[in-house]
Amino acid sequence: MNFTKLLTGAALVVGMATSAFADGHEKTKVGFVYVGPVGDGGWTYEHNKGRLMVEEQLGDAVETVFVESVPEGPDAERVMTQMALDGADLIFTTSFGYMDPTINVAQKFPNVKFEHATGYKRADNVSTYSARFYEGRAIQGHIAGKMTKSNIVGYIGSYPIPEVIRGINAAFIHARKVNPDVQFKIVWAYTWFDPAKEADAAKVLIEQGADVVLQHTDSTAPQAAAQEAGNVVTFGQASDMAQYGPFPRVSSIIDEWGPYYVARTQAVIDGTWESTDTWDGIGAGMVGIGEISDAVPADVKEEALAMKAAIADGSYHPFTGPLKKQDGSEFLAEGETADDGTLAGMNFYVEGIEGDIPQ
C-alpha cells in the first residue's frame, strides 16, 4: 500500500510542480513529507493543519506541496529528492524515521532548507524541531493513575525510540505518584499508523485487564475499541479526537505546528532562516491539552490543570528527582531535573516499569 500511495503522491508533486511557474512571480515553495495519510485524524492530520495555516497566513507568497504515507526508508529519500528537484525552498520532514534520509538529501541540496521533526541530527541547512509531548503525557499519566480501577494501564507503543520511551516514562512516573499500585502493560505495534493493528492491540490490552489505554500511534482506532468495550478510558493522541469525548476519550495531547511552520516559512521568505533546534512544550503553545471531560472527577481535573499551569510557567518539570532507572541505579537526585540531552536520548525505563525495551 505504501509503495502505491507513494506513486500517487509523487505523481501529485510532479503535477503541482509543473503548474508552479504559471503565474509569473516566483513563490516560496514549501514541501511537506508525511508518514501517514492526512486523514488519519492524528499526527499527520495536525501537520497538515499546520501546512494549511501557512497557506492561509502567507497567501500568495507561498506554495505548498505534500506527499502523504511515505514509508520511513529509501522511499523517503526519493520523495525528498524529488521535492528538492522540483524547486522546493523549504522541506518539512515530519517523522523520526526520516532523520537520516533528510540529512542525506540535505547534503545534496545545500541551497534547500530542511526541517526535521523529532530528530536530533542537524546540519547547516537542516533544523530540527519537536514538541515536549512528555509534558502532556505527564498530565495524562496523572489522570490515568487516578482513573484506573484495575490498576492496569495499557500502553500502545509505536517504535522503541527515545520520543516514545520518554512518553511512557513521563506517564508512568505520574501515574505511580498518585497510585502506587499502578502497572503498565506495554505493547509495541511497530507501526505509526495501522488502524486494524492498533484496534487489535487495544483489544488485547483490554482483555488483559487494562481499563485505561494510552497510545503513541496515530489513528483513532484504539478509541473506537475502547468505546466498544464500554468502560475503558483513552486519551486523544496528537489530535484532539474530540469525537470520542466525553468518554472514553477524557483528554488529549494536541500538536500545534501551525505557528512554527508559519514563522519558519516567513524566515525563508525574509532570508533570515538559520539552522536551529526547537523543542517547545505547553508553555510555548506547541503542545496543547484537549479539554478534560466531565468523565474525570472534578478534583482530578483540577489537579491536572494545576499541573498543566505549573509546567507551562516552568515551575514544575515532569522529570524531577528522586527517580531511579529500571535497574535500580540512580537517575535523578532529590530535586534534580533531567537535562535536555538525557531526555532526547532516553533509552531506559524508570523504576517500576516491567519488561525490556526492544533493542
Partner 1 sequence: MDLSAINPVLFVAGFLVAATPLIFAAVGELVVEKTGVLNLGVEGMMIIGAICGFSVAVETGSPLAGFAAAALGGAMLSLLFAFLTQVTLANQVASGLALTLFGLGFSALLGQSYVGIKPPRLGDIDFGPLADIPVIGPILFTHDIILYLGIALVAAVWAVLKFTRTGMILRAVGENHDAAHALGFKVKRIRTLAIMFGGACAGIGGAYISLIRVPQWTEGMTAGIGWIALALVVFASWKPWRLLLGAYLFGGITQLQLNLQGAGVAIPVEYLAMSPYLVTIVVLVILSRDKSAAPGSLGRIFHASS
Interface residue list for partner 1 (CB under 8 A): 1-2, 4-5, 7-8, 36-41, 69, 154, 160, 185-188, 190-191, 193-197, 199-201, 203-205, 207-209, 219-221, 224-225, 227-228, 241, 243-244, 354-356, 358-359
Looking at the Cβ atoms of 57 and 191, the one nearer to partner 1 is 191
Looking at the Cβ atoms of 42 and 141, the one nearer to partner 1 is 42
Shortest Cβ 254–partner 1 spacing (Å): 15
- In the sheet where 277-280 sits, what is the strand order? 62-67, 28-33, 90-93, 113-117, 126-131, 277-280
Looking at the Cβ atoms of 55 and 200, the one nearer to partner 1 is 200
Spatial contact of 170 and 265, defined as CB atoms under 8 Å apart? no
Shortest Cβ 59–partner 1 spacing (Å): 24
Which residue in the block uniquely carries the three cell numbers 492526512? 38
Looking at the Cβ atoms of 90 and 213, the one nearer to partner 1 is 213
**Shortest CA distance to 67 belongs to which of 95, 41, 42?**
95
**Shortest CA distance to 96 belongs to which of 358, 345, 348?**
345
Looking at the Cβ atoms of 21 and 190, the one nearer to partner 1 is 190
Shortest Cβ 201–partner 1 spacing (Å): 5
Looking at the Cβ atoms of 161 and 225, the one nearer to partner 1 is 225
Shortest Cβ 301–partner 1 spacing (Å): 24
Q: What is each CA distance from 53 to 49, 142, 293, in whole angstroms?
A: 6, 32, 28
**Coil, helix or strand at residue 273:** coil
Looking at the Cβ atoms of 204 and 300, the one nearer to partner 1 is 204
Q: Give the DSSP letter string of 141-191.
A: HHHHHHH-SSSEEEEEESS-SHHHHHHHHHHHHHHHHH-TT-EEEEEE-S-
Shortest Cβ 3–partner 1 spacing (Å): 9
Shortest Cβ 95–partner 1 spacing (Å): 15
Shortest Cβ 196–partner 1 spacing (Å): 6
Looking at the Cβ atoms of 322 and 355, the one nearer to partner 1 is 355
CA distance 21 to 314: 47
Spatial contact of 171 and 136, defined as CB atoms under 8 Å apart? no
CA distance 123 to 274: 10
Phi, psi for residue 114 in degrees, rounded to 5? -120, 150
Task: Tell me the three cell numbers of residue 29.
Answer: 515553495
Task: Tell me the three cell numbers of residue 188.
Answer: 509495541
CA distance 14 to 36: 20
Shortest Cβ 261–partner 1 spacing (Å): 22
